[in-house]
Amino acid sequence: MSNQYLDPNLKVFSLNSNFDLAQEIAAAIGVELGKCSVTSFSDGEVQINIEESIRGCD
């Protein structure tokens, strides 16, 4: 089921609980999984950092 998605501006990112699913989706549509990091703090807050440019992307 490897289809090439024709929009080069599409970005797919994953958080902690759905990493495997995001990898499968990205592979199925032919895009790389975006780079991000997730930091959890002791008070329950979560910080998400997108580690690549997403300007002009969907």
- Is 58 part of any domain? no
- Is 43 part of any domain? yes
The parent domain of residue 15 ranges over: 1-53
- One-character DSSP codes across the chain: --PPPS-TT--B---GGGHHHHHHHHHHHT-PBPPEEEEE-TTS-EEEEE-S--TT--
**Mind listing the pLDDT tens digit for each residue in 17-55?**
889 999 999 999 889 999 999 999 999 999 999 999 989
Task: Record the pTM.
Answer: 0.70
Output Rg (C-alpha) for the chain, integer angstroms.
Answer: 13
- Is 33 part of any domain? yes
Q: Is 17 exposed, middle or buried (0-12, 13-18, 19+ CB in 10 A)?
A: exposed
